[in-house]
Amino acid sequence: MRCVSSLNVRGLLPQEYTMKNRLEYKGYLGEFSYEEGDEAMHGTVLNLREVIHFCGTSLAELRQSLQASVEDYLARCAEEGRSPEKPYTGRFVVRLNPDLHRRISARAQATGMSLNQWVNQALERETA
């Protein structure tokens, strides 16, 4: 098996990975799929600029590999004196057409909310 837990540079992992399954460790969400040629499951941690790769031939091995890879990433960040990326910071940029922007701003003002509060409430309502 060609499986090694490691931190990789984006672009070095094969593009043929099709991700379907997920595991979580310390707030880092990993997505994985079975790779027939390796007879193993391979995955990456989502929503980071750096690629954290993990793999295993069983779910237990896969989970252990994810944990080890995340811990390696956190240790490397500490050694380099930098803060690890957080998968979700609570911020995202959305580009809207100007008319929609005007309409939602008017709705927010009419309800006495900031645009941020109004959008947050609308998204909570839509995803509940």
Q: What is the pLDDT of residues 76-127, one digit of tens each?
A: 999 999 999 987 777 788 899 999 999 999 999 999 999 999 999 999 999 8
Q: What is the pLDDT of residues 7-66, one digit of tens each?
A: 443 443 444 444 458 999 998 999 999 888 888 999 999 989 899 999 999 999 999 999
CA–CA distance, 77 with 73 (Å, rounded to integer): 6
SS3 of residue 5 by DSSP: coil
